[in-house]
Structure formats: structure tokens, C-alpha cells
Copies of this chain bind each other. A is one copy, B any other.
């Protein structure tokens, strides 16, 4: 590995000049620039990241992260990934400031302003879908502060740097594919979703619908909304199953898994008929239901990895100017059964 000093020696200039050429900083005589560039090319110069990271400490970079305050175990996983990565980057001497906010636009905007005053150079956020946030994010970017959004997608805003999360539509298709295999392509499905107007939930449902369009034996009997609330979920699942005794498959699109499963189990016990159930994510309560067989399979989106990846992308961009491979980075779609739910 060549260093800037070696290149400087060969080019007959100072290290400072080489540095200027490499980082496009200040003015350099056109001829020397070309000469230096040629040597860089020939010797396949690559900056030493340890040197760079160490030197950049002098700039006192701060990365701001806004994480969700919620006793929702899914968010806890996501936060865990962010916090782990934060720890790692702190070990490189980069300051990572973690702010917690409830999941409302108002709370998030207020935290963003706090972080701006602290002089952050980058922002990581899991944005709420409430209106009002998008404009603030655009303002932040206008100040030349790159943003990475994680897990949640906004309809009216796209980070110019990166979104890290799931491909919800493809998840929905995968759910349908799974259901098809579990039911021999024949089932009458009841769908329990979180919110009709949440994009991620809607996308999963359209993926599901598009897939089963090719399977005439697969039918959607009813779709109901539980507002990600366990009690509501129990109620709507129970009434749905009572209204449609022909339902033999349930697709749980979002939260409220435990409540829905209680209704499903009761119905199974009453009628003796198996209801094939699949869900999303693997929060502890869902895991337990997979272990005991109530849920046959659950589709997971690696929240810890999402958190890590989001912060890593921001870090790499700030240190190296490295752009992510894509402006939409998707984590794997993982199918978990009772045998690999704890792996």
C-alpha cells in the first residue's frame, strides 16, 4: 500500500500538495495535479483509513441519531443495532449522540433542532409517517447534513443519501408464496393488518394480492385493521373468524400478533379445524407462538442489522465520502420456522 508521502517523494512535491490533489482541496497547478494524479493511478493509491479516521478527529465530527422511545420490542431491536454500531464508531473517536423521542413528528422535530444546535454533521432517523417531518428533513439536507432514514419509509420524502430497511412489497409476496406452499395452493385467507393507511402495511398486502392472483385456489375472504393494538386485534380477529367460519388461513401483516393468535387458537379448539397462520417479525411474543406451533412461519427483517447498517453507511460517507451501493439498502427477507427461530 502506497502512502501520500511516497507519492509526494516520487512526484517531487510536498505531502500537502498530494493531499490537495487527492481531496480536491484548494488550487494546485494544473501540471503538477496531472502528474500527481498519474502516479496515484499507477501506484493504485488507496487512503489508509486508520490515518484518515484519526486525523479527522480534529474536525470534531458529531453524528446525531434519533431513536424511538417505546416499549415496543421491535424498536428495541432496531435501537440495539444503532447503539452497537455507535459504540463501535465511538471507538474510532467519532462522537455519536443518541437522542430518544416518542414516535410523533413534533417530538422528532424538536430533537432534530437540538441536534442541529449541537452542530451535527450527519443525521440518522427512523421518521414518523406524520406530516410535517419531511419539510424539516429537507431543510437539514439543505444545510449539507446528510441523512440516513431507517426502517420506515416516507411517501413525501426520500433521503438523498440512503434509506435502510425492508422491501415491504416483496415481503408481502414472500408471505403469499409461503402461504401457497403451506396450504397446497388452496386456502381462504383472513388478513389482519395494522393500519390501512400505513405504507409498509399496505405494501405488504399488495405484494400478497399480486402473488395470489396466479393461484385461483387462494382467496382473500376479509381484511381488517387492528391499529397495532393487541386487544383490538383479539376483537377483530375473533369477530372475523366468527363471521367467516370458512377461513383456514390467517396472514398477520403487522403488530397485534398475540391478540390475534389468541382468537385463532380459540377458534381452532372450538371447530377442530387448523388455521394456517403466518406473521411478520420475531418479537418475543411472536417467537413463543412460533415455538408452540400456533404460527407456522414468521418473516423477519433483521432490525438489528438495519440499525447497524444505517449508522455504518453514515459513518463511511462522512469519513470516506463513500456513497452506499444503492440509495435503498434492503435487509434480507428471513423466513423463520420453529426450528430456526432461535438460531
Chain A contacts to B: CB under 8 angstroms: 1, 46-51, 53-54, 57, 90-93, 167, 170, 173-174, 176-178, 181-182, 184, 211, 296-297, 330, 332-340, 343
**Do B92 and A177 have beta carbons less than 8 Å apart?**
no
**Do B339 and A211 have beta carbons less than 8 Å apart?**
yes
Checking B182, B211, B343 against A181 with a beta-carbon cut-off of 8 angstroms, the contacting residue is B182
Would you list 16 pairs from A and B whose C-beta atoms are within 8 A, ordered by A residue? A1-B90, A50-B53, A50-B92, A50-B93, A51-B93, A174-B337, A174-B339, A177-B338, A178-B337, A181-B337, A211-B339, A330-B343, A332-B343, A333-B340, A334-B334, A335-B340
Known interface pairs A211-B339, A343-B170, A343-B333; A92-B181 also in contact (CB < 8 Å) = no
Cα-based distance from A336 to B337 in the complex (angstroms): 12
Known interface pairs A181-B296, A334-B334; A170-B92 also in contact (CB < 8 Å) = no
Cα-based distance from A296 to B339 in the complex (angstroms): 18
Known interface pairs A167-B343, A174-B337, A211-B339; A181-B297 also in contact (CB < 8 Å) = yes
Cα-based distance from A296 to B330 in the complex (angstroms): 23
Kindly provide the distance from the CB of A287 to the nearest chain B CB, expressed in whole angstroms: 15
Taking CB atoms, residues of chain B closer than 8 Å to A182 are: 181-182
Cα-based distance from A1 to B182 in the complex (angstroms): 53
Checking B46, B173, B181 against A91 with a beta-carbon cut-off of 8 angstroms, the contacting residue is B46
Kindly provide the distance from the CB of A75 to the nearest chain B CB, expressed in whole angstroms: 21
> How many copies of this chain?
2
Taking CB atoms, residues of chain B closer than 8 Å to A49 are: 50, 91-92
Query: From A171, which residue of chain B is reached at the shortest CB distance?
Result: B340
A170-B343, A174-B337 are known contacts; what are 9 more A-B pairs with Cβ within 8 Å? A1-B90, A48-B54, A50-B51, A50-B53, A170-B340, A174-B339, A177-B338, A333-B343, A335-B337
Cα-based distance from A57 to B50 in the complex (angstroms): 10
Taking CB atoms, residues of chain B closer than 8 Å to A340 are: 170, 174, 177, 332-333, 335
Query: From A90, which residue of chain B is reached at the shortest CB distance?
Result: B1
Cα-based distance from A138 to B51 in the complex (angstroms): 36
Cα-based distance from A343 to B296 in the complex (angstroms): 22
**Do A181 and B181 have beta carbons less than 8 Å apart?**
yes
Query: From A337, which residue of chain B is reached at the shortest CB distance?
Result: B177
**Do A332 and B335 have beta carbons less than 8 Å apart?**
no
Cα-based distance from A332 to B332 in the complex (angstroms): 11
Cα-based distance from A332 to B49 in the complex (angstroms): 30
Taking CB atoms, residues of chain B closer than 8 Å to A334 are: 332, 334-335
Checking B46, B50, B170 against A339 with a beta-carbon cut-off of 8 angstroms, the contacting residue is B170
Cα-based distance from A181 to B177 in the complex (angstroms): 13
Query: From A172, which residue of chain B is reached at the shortest CB distance?
Result: B339
Taking CB atoms, residues of chain B closer than 8 Å to A91 are: 46-49
Cα-based distance from A105 to B174 in the complex (angstroms): 43
Known interface pairs A51-B54, A339-B177; A1-B93 also in contact (CB < 8 Å) = yes
Kindly provide the distance from the CB of A341 to the nearest chain B CB, expressed in whole angstroms: 10
